[in-house]
Structure 1
């Protein structure tokens, strides 16, 4: 465990408290993924796009993202610092590429927080008996964002406990629904076995081939099974980070993918009238109520609310840590302001407020939830591809480490990850349904390049800002050697 006075690689002093053990690190990754959030937000889209058969894209995406998690596990073990891809790419390639990776990550994290809370909003509206109008949903999202920011700033212990608890509520809620709903639908005689055919029922509303509709359904998995790298983003708050963080990331993807798919199968075979369920603003809630009754359904929905809220909470925390990490190197706007740590909680309070404000703006100025969700699916895929490509070019020069290692499988796994990510990005941008998503993502990437050249490139090249890689010799090679005792 690092002491507060211990110096970190790259002239970083230990400012954040190392209190997180393996389970808490896993809780961060698992809560960020939050299968509850992703499925509640996107299941209706899958039903209307490809029908219940669209859930078979989920295991395909799971395998693709597990491959990514394996590579990120190696990187997290070699460079266990807040900032994940910003830190990794800066050392793998150069500080300019590292800055751009940080930009993509920040944009993704800022947008993803309100989209997560949008998954929460219709459930709350339904439980309170409110009309789920766009205005009501937006109001709930903004109120949730404010509460999450306050907890992140002033209730650090509460945030950690809530996040740890959310692992149990997510598992209990999802597994509970699987067991009870499955028993009611399949075993209690409320439906016959013909309902199993639901998982093969397809719908094509776009007028094209079903293959295209099926691929579009991959949005649910691509949106959900990301964010496991949040554990790496909180490395400086994790005990024995180079060993615990890789385990946390890989395990979170495996469990989320497996449990999530079983949940999707059970939910899909429970659909009675597909047209009615598809037209509902909250199809999962309708399915639960129709089979379990209002009381039992409400209990499960409350557990889901806790899980989704924790997902937004940890996403906001992760975004603030990235802003802090880049501000610490003076490569973010008003760096001196956003790298400040609160005395009470030892958290980057100003960075948290920034994430809150930008999240609210995203809610107010976006009239399409699908657009937000799509952007938060394609941006991490772009970030993953940038990171893994730079790692692929550097691999043969890397020393052996005593943290997680793919060994002889590294090249094959890296190649598979690159192929998968190119395929995934094509799915999320080329179809006409996602053209606006591609345009938004492209604008954000171009904007990042413009910001870099206008405000940061000169300072980084002159060595006035950014990591002092040449001066400190803190490349990925020396980083691996100097972090053995962390």
Structure 2
């Protein structure tokens, strides 16, 4: 029961949040209906250990054998460093949209525009990758063949449903995130325990046995290729900050939610990956390509026809909730751009539904563009792996640009002043996060199929170059970023020289 004292406390907290946002130059139209639990659930379902592992497990096992699981541990430590840097930034600048407003305050308009552009396209492609990953499981659930066309239709169906739920508003988003979180835990922990108890064919020693994967080459290259499993798993924590204007006391709430997303999501992903690896009876068959779908086979053997269908329902709920969370992040980013008048179509994208408290056209954009990517996947072989690789590269590049901006700002005198601070550890953590991001991006972009046509071998690098080049061309032809009068570059202290131009005009 809510007392008058609770009501007064809640009102005071909301007034404080509004005052902080006003000091940053904004008045929010969002409602702060998202609890810390829902905020964590949003990040968790975006990171989605079930989606990441169930989507990429077969690829990772076939490429590097069971040791590919160690990529989850390595990526988890690296991304925790990035999350710590982001935590300091969002605590000081709790503005909707994530990496774009953070880069804007740390550096300037042009840099922020390009950061947001890269991240936005990566989000769109990630949404497409998650929806596409759900397609084969829908086919298994309903017993029809997972052809290219049927997978595309199923993927579009997931996308339409996610867009509708996002359109319903913050409360519906929060409820979907919590339901998805429950499904994720069931899909990871309960299924993992059952597999270990009833379907274990190996001991933990296989985690150090490649079973011949990568034979004929340096195994390090095979492991680096399979590291896509870990790299793909560990982003999503930033979604906690994308909805900063929908959370109470975001300076404290969001950093906690980000770290918990890494801890819990990483542990769940590693556990389910180990359980699946122990349950695959014939690992060499997966490596040779004779068993291209070991996950479905394991679930069928462990749970039977009816039980495996129930597990597939849980898995599909995870895919849906992950798509919803990704769309929420993309929609808030597009809205944040438009609110600052930074992109063509801003007048439409910044429109706000007062009844549902969401930007409907920004949400629609986060459905239409991924839908187009899904349709185009029909014309590419092994489309899912390529989509995942490019999406991961784009996300990591967007992250890297924020981490670099934070490093530059520290060198120029920025001292984080939010409710979460790393103190003396700020610079070492920032440098370590940059180094990890560089290694991860090189791992993603490195060509590994010399027998393939050059454009296929370099598809990830070329896709990244196209997005960055397209962004630079857009900036040269349509200078919308120059019209914005919203604050920028203010993380860096001003010098005493009044004739000096403001830091961050670039």
* Structure 2 length-normalised TM: 0.87
Pick aligned residue for 1:467 from 481, 486, 496: 486
Contact 1:53–1:202 (8 Å) recurs in 2? no
Contact 2:66–2:208 (8 Å) recurs in 1? yes
* Structure 1 length-normalised TM: 0.91
Pick aligned residue for 1:127 from 141, 144, 147: 141
- The corresponding residue for 2:473 is 450
**RMSD over equivalenced CA pairs, Å:** 2.1
Provide, for residues 1-41 of structure 1, a one-character-per-residue CA deviation record: whole Å limited to 9, x for no partner: 43598662443212011111211111111110001111111
Q: Distance in 2 between matches of 1:10 and 1:466?
A: 12
Provide, for residues 444-464 of structure 1, a one-character-per-residue CA deviation record: whole Å limited to 9, x for no partner: 1111111112112xx544xx3
Pick aligned residue for 2:116 from 94, 102, 105: 102
Q: Distance in 2 between matches of 1:165 and 1:41?
A: 20
**2:428 matched to 1:412?**
yes
* TM-aligned CA deviation for residue 88 of structure 1: 1.4
Pick aligned residue for 2:349 from 333, 338, 342: 338
Aligned residues: 466
Query: Where does structure 2 lack aligned partners over 5 or more consecutive residues?
Result: 1-12, 450-456, 495-506
Contact 1:196–1:269 (8 Å) recurs in 2? no
Give the 3 Å change call, closer, same or farther, for CA 64–112 of structure 1 in structure 2: same
Provide, for residues 52-96 of structure 1, a one-character-per-residue CA deviation record: whole Å limited to 9, x for no partner: 221221111111111111111111111100122111111211110
Q: Distance in 1 between matches of 2:344 and 2:291?
A: 43
* TM-aligned CA deviation for residue 155 of structure 1: 5.7
Pick aligned residue for 1:212 from 208, 217, 221: 221
Contact 2:92–2:418 (8 Å) recurs in 1? no
Give the 3 Å change call, closer, same or farther, for CA 359–13 of structure 1 in structure 2: same
User: Structure 2 matches for 1:56-135, cutoff 5 A?
Assistant: 56-135=70-149
State the secondary structure of the residue aligned to 1:2: helix
Give the 3 Å change call, closer, same or farther, for CA 160–253 of structure 1 in structure 2: same
Contact 1:198–1:271 (8 Å) recurs in 2? no
Runs of 4+ deviating beyond 4 Å: 3-7, 193-196, 275-281, 474-478
Give the 3 Å change call, closer, same or farther, for CA 307–238 of structure 1 in structure 2: same
- The corresponding residue for 1:423 is 439
Provide, for residues 382-413 of structure 1, a one-character-per-residue CA deviation record: whole Å limited to 9, x for no partner: 11111111111212522453511111111111
State the secondary structure of the residue aligned to 1:61: helix
Pick aligned residue for 1:158 from 160, 172, 187: 172
Q: Distance in 1 between matches of 2:102 and 2:285?
A: 48
* TM-aligned CA deviation for residue 356 of structure 1: 1.1
Give the 3 Å change call, closer, same or farther, for CA 66–198 of structure 1 in structure 2: closer
* TM-aligned CA deviation for residue 194 of structure 1: 5.4
Provide, for residues 219-269 of structure 1, a one-character-per-residue CA deviation record: whole Å limited to 9, x for no partner: 011112112101101001110001100110111011111221122111101
Contact 1:199–1:265 (8 Å) recurs in 2? no
* TM-aligned CA deviation for residue 321 of structure 1: 0.4
Give the 3 Å change call, closer, same or farther, for CA 199–271 of structure 1 in structure 2: farther
State the secondary structure of the residue aligned to 2:478: helix
Pick aligned residue for 2:298 from 264, 283, 287: 287
Contact 2:53–2:233 (8 Å) recurs in 1? yes
- The corresponding residue for 2:265 is 256
Q: Distance in 2 between matches of 1:392 and 1:198?
A: 37
Moved more, 104-113 or 254-263: 254-263
Query: Where does structure 1 lack aligned partners over 5 or more consecutive residues?
Result: 479-486
**2:464 matched to 1:441?**
yes
User: Structure 2 matches for 1:178-257, cutoff 5 A?
Assistant: 178-186=192-200, 191=201, 196-197=205-206, 200-204=209-213, 207-257=216-266
Give the 3 Å change call, closer, same or farther, for CA 10–364 of structure 1 in structure 2: same
* TM-aligned CA deviation for residue 343 of structure 1: 2.4
* TM-aligned CA deviation for residue 215 of structure 1: 0.9
- The corresponding residue for 1:484 is none
Give the 3 Å change call, closer, same or farther, for CA 66–194 of structure 1 in structure 2: closer
Pick aligned residue for 2:401 from 361, 386, 390: 386
